[in-house]
Amino acid sequence: MAKYLRFLVLVVTSLCVTAFVDKDILLRLGDTEKNVKELRQENAALKKENRDMHQVIARLSAKIDKISNLATEEAIEDTSASTNGRYQIHSNVNSKRLLSSSLPDYLAFATTLNTTIPHVAAHQLIKYNDIITNEGKGYDATQGIFIAPERGLYLISVTLWESMNDLQRIGLDLVLNGKKVISIFADGAGTNDSAMTQTLPLVLKQGDRVWVRTHDKYAGFTLYGSAEWNMNSFSGVLLTYI
């Protein structure tokens, strides 16, 4: 009888343990199923996001291709227009302008003084008589004056040089329409040659007149010129039409 009771107790205990283990397994299975469901939902959301990103990338790629094609077409048109001479493209800080081919491609002049001028007068106009460049025919050698052929931004330069052998001091003015813009000075009375250059941008209207004259404080002095050295010069170039 005692053996039977012990056997019965073992059977009941085994059944209880089995039931507990089964319950724990079921709980774990439930948690696992819940986690799997959440992972599936996250995976579905990621797939949707991935599809959306692919669509956005496709639209952006199409826009980039369109912009690239337009830029290529414009570049081809600009090159063609420049080649056939119908238009010239000029840039400034604000925009690009298409200008008629009747305007010259280049406007520039460069002149030097190849003869010495003794005993200059006050405000004497200096006629630079050796023309190196005169694209656009803006420099009038008979007057010694640059007359702007077109409105634009020009770079104007004056160089003054005096030899120490001449023992001379001299000053010059750059003049725009009769008004002094800048002055330069050279002193050949020292132990070395003396030189000075002034270069500056000027906005000139069509017909504006630019020239070089002696400074009023240096009347009676000599301005050195040389066909060999070409040290004294007056020059300018159009940077852009405006």
Amino acid, res. 137: K
CATH code of the region 103-241: 2.60.120.40
CA distance 37 to 234: 87
Per DSSP, the three-state class of 240 is strand
The whole-number pLDDT of residue 72 equals: 65
The whole-number pLDDT of residue 95 equals: 44
Distances (CA, A) of 227 to 130, 143, 188, 215, 237: 8, 20, 19, 23, 23
The whole-number pLDDT of residue 155 equals: 98
The whole-number pLDDT of residue 96 equals: 37
The whole-number pLDDT of residue 93 equals: 38
Amino acid, res. 170: I
- Beta pairing class for 179-187 and 194-204: unpaired
User: How confident is the chain (242 residues) per 10-residue block, as mean pLDDT?
Assistant: 61 55 66 74 72 72 72 60 44 43 83 93 96 96 96 96 72 97 84 84 97 93 85 95 92
User: Can you name the residues that pair with 120 across neighbouring β-strands?
Assistant: none
Residue 74, token pair as written in the block: 């414009």
Task: Give phi and psi for 188, each to the nearest 5.
Answer: -95, 10
Task: Give phi and psi for 46, each to the nearest 5.
Answer: -65, -40
Residues ≥6 apart with Cβ < 8 Å to 155: 199, 200, 201, 202, 236, 237, 239
Residue 224, token pair as written in the block: 């050195």
The whole-number pLDDT of residue 176 equals: 98
Task: Determine contact, residues 204/154, Cβ cutoff 8 Å.
Answer: yes
CA distance 26 to 38: 18
The whole-number pLDDT of residue 151 equals: 96
Question: What is the model's pTM?
Answer: 0.58
CA distance 140 to 145: 5
Task: Indicate the domain borders of the chain.
Answer: 1-84, 103-241
Task: Determine contact, residues 159/236, Cβ cutoff 8 Å.
Answer: no
Distances (CA, A) of 211 to 29, 203, 237: 100, 15, 14
The whole-number pLDDT of residue 77 equals: 60
CA atoms within 13 A on the CB side of 113: 24
Task: Give phi and psi for 13, each to the nearest 5.
Answer: -60, -40
